[in-house]
Amino acid sequence: GMARAGLGEDWRCLFANDFDFKKSRTYRQNWGEGQIKTEDVRKLKASDLPEVADLVWGSFPCQDLSLAGGGAGLKGDRSGTFWPFWDLMKKLMKEDRAAKVIVLENVCGTLNSHGGKDFATICRVFASKGYRCGAVVVDAALFVPQSRPRLFIIGVRDDVIIPDNLLADGPKIPWHTRALKTAYGNLPAVPRNNWVWWNLRAPAQRNTRFADFIEEEPTGVPWHSPEETKRLLDMMSPVNMQKVLDAKASGVKTVGAIYKRTRKDAAGFKIQRAEIRFDEISGCLRTPAGGSSRQLIMVVEGNSVRSRLISSRETARLMGLDDDYVLPANYNEAYHLTGDGVVVPVVRHLAENIIEPILKC
């Protein structure tokens, strides 16, 4: 329900879908019954989708498109769910129920998956069904203290007017990255001719820090013992340990984000390292599955050094969710939910500056 939260109260949700029963339960706890259908998208029918929607938002699985994935791309079992999703869109088109705007959200690895062919395929199918499309890369760090760049492909039906002020004459920083420009340059003629460079407004400067989101007495994640914190410090390379020493010397309460990663030592052997950042933002939240580690935090204040897992409420705050948003009681379920989501204020920014102006024309 994070895309729904970002769209806001002026929008009416007609239908939602997820195959995960646990996520669906949380959706119902926050949004009520009636809209969400828990089912594999491959089994959905056009009749499951009611009325005519102005907007269809699709966040399909990223595993086969991410740099950490197996590289299967749109042919993979998980990211390949794009195809049954698109089949639904084609059925709606045949029934004269095509949405005016379709937004796809995924990891930036989509741009270079299979040498850019997967991105080109997505743009091609948009063009083949009468949609102009363009893309932007938005790092959530512009809105919340979390490093989380994501790709948003926005398609607009050909008969829908796009206001001139939303059209740029070329790529714009920071929305059109080098990888996106390269992917665009590799597009075949038809999708290139249907391409839109979105003129997205810059947001106001973020005024929150990672430390602002940290709970002193979190639920479900105890502070580490001194011995556990020492073991974590012992896992740091000299470069990362110096960051901690600098934080202690500053005399200011500082919060760092830690991920454990496998690195090679001087002899070429693989060892686990604890890598920390003190740049006022957290690392990108990821689902705690497939070997991905859970993010830890370290609070340094003078000679005091404390550490623990990041709490589920803290992860929700980093996704832009209000504290009254109901989370699963189970820590791993809550972490999986937030790590798999889309950042709420990012959705709001796209809605306010691209989607809503188009629909008001």
Cα–Cα distance list, 289 to 63, 71, 174, 294, 310 (Å): 11, 17, 31, 9, 16
Residue found by looking up tokens 């997205």 in the block: 200
H or E element in which residue 87 lies: helix 82-94
Displacement of CA 276 from its chain's centroid (Å) = 22
Return the biggest CA–CA distance within the chain: 67
Side-chain half-sphere of 277: how many Cα atoms within 13 Å?
A: 15
Q: How far apart are CA 149 and CA 349, in angstroms?
A: 14
Cα–Cα distance, 313 to 334 (Å, whole number):
8
Structure tokens at 192: 């290139």
| Distance from C-alpha of 205 to C-alpha of 207, rounded to nearest angstrom | 6
Taking domain 2-204+339-359, whether its CATH number is 3.40.50.150 is answered by yes
Structure tokens at 265: 């030592």
The answer to whether the CB of 16 falls within 8 A of the CB of 3 is no
pLDDT score for 75: 59
Amino acid at 242: Q
Tokens matching residue 224: 């580490």
Long-range contacts of 337-341 (CB under 8 A, 24+ apart): 337/22, 337/23, 337/26, 338/285, 338/312, 339/285, 339/286, 339/287, 339/288, 339/315, 340/23, 340/287, 341/2
pLDDT score of 48: 96
Per-residue tens of pLDDT for the chain, all 361 residues: 999 999 999 999 999 999 999 999 999 999 998 899 999 999 999 999 999 999 999 987 655 444 444 555 555 555 468 899 999 999 999 999 999 999 999 999 999 988 899 999 999 999 999 999 999 999 999 999 999 999 999 999 999 999 999 999 999 999 999 999 999 999 999 999 999 999 999 999 999 999 999 999 998 999 999 999 999 999 999 999 999 999 999 999 999 999 999 998 888 899 999 999 999 999 999 887 644 578 999 999 999 999 999 999 999 999 999 999 999 999 999 999 999 999 999 999 999 999 999 999 8
Other beta carbons within 10 Å of 9: 6
pLDDT value, residue 114: 84
Q: Which two tokens stand for residue 97?
A: 């129920």
Count the Cβ atoms, other than its own, within 10 Å of residue 178: 10
d(C-alpha 159, C-alpha 307), whole Å: 55
| Residues contacting residue 173 through CB under 8 Å, at least 6 positions apart | none
Report the C-alpha gap between 93 and 130 in whole angstroms. Answer: 10
Q: For residue 304, list its beta bridge partners.
A: 301
The 3-state DSSP class for residue 310 equals coil
Contact, 309 vs 315, CB < 8 A? no
Q: What are phi and psi of 65, to 5 degrees?
A: -110, -15
In angstroms, the CA 189 to CA 246 distance is 53
One-letter amino acid for residue 213 of the chain: F
Q: Check residue 70 and give its pLDDT.
A: 53
Tell me how far apart the alpha carbons of residues 145 and 268 are, in angstroms, rounded to a whole number: 35
Domain ranges of the chain: 2-204+339-359, 222-310
- What is the helix (H) or strand (E) element at residue 122, kind and residue range? helix 117-128
What's 6-33 look like in SS3?
A: HHCCCCCCCCEEECCHHHHHHHHHHHCC
Residue 64: the pLDDT is 44
Peptide bond into 174 cis (omega under 30): yes
CA dihedral 216, 218, 221, 227 (to 10 degrees): 10
> Tell me, what's the pLDDT at 193?
95
Spatial contact of 288 and 339, defined as CB atoms under 8 Å apart: yes
pLDDT of residue 61: 63
